[in-house]
Amino acid sequence: MSYCLNLNCQQPENPNDIKFCQACGSNLLLRGHYQVIKPIGNGSFGRTLLALDLDRFNTPCVVKQFFPKINGSISIRKASELFKRETEQL
């Protein structure tokens, strides 16, 4: 299964052998070689998804997707800083 990264997609689950989401048309490969399989967690400013790195013999990996659940430019800016800090630590 491939999972669509479009946050507005109504049916994000797709068959494994297609390149574009059947529901919204979004590209299902992130950066051309990460195939997202399923969401595995979420927090206050993003979600974590299980993926496969197709360029490394389908090695399992994790994708973090930024989408803050807060409003206001200052809050979003702070969430962005925290997200960036977390990705650097990972």
Residue-wise pLDDT tens digits, 45-88: 789 999 999 999 999 999 999 987 777 777 888 888 988 888 88
Report the alpha-carbon distance of residue 45 to residue 65 in Å, rounded.
Answer: 9
Paired tokens of 41: 């967690």
Residue with tokens 């496969």, as numbered in its chain:
52
Which pTM value belongs to this model? Answer: 0.83
What is the residue extent of each domain of the chain? 2-89
Residue with tokens 């049916």, as numbered in its chain:
11
Residue-wise pLDDT tens digits, 4-34: 999 999 999 999 989 999 999 999 999 999 9
String of DSSP letters for 42-87: E-SSEEEEEEEEGGGTTEEEEEEEE--S--SHHHHHHHHHHHHHHH
Assigned CATH class of 2-89: alpha beta
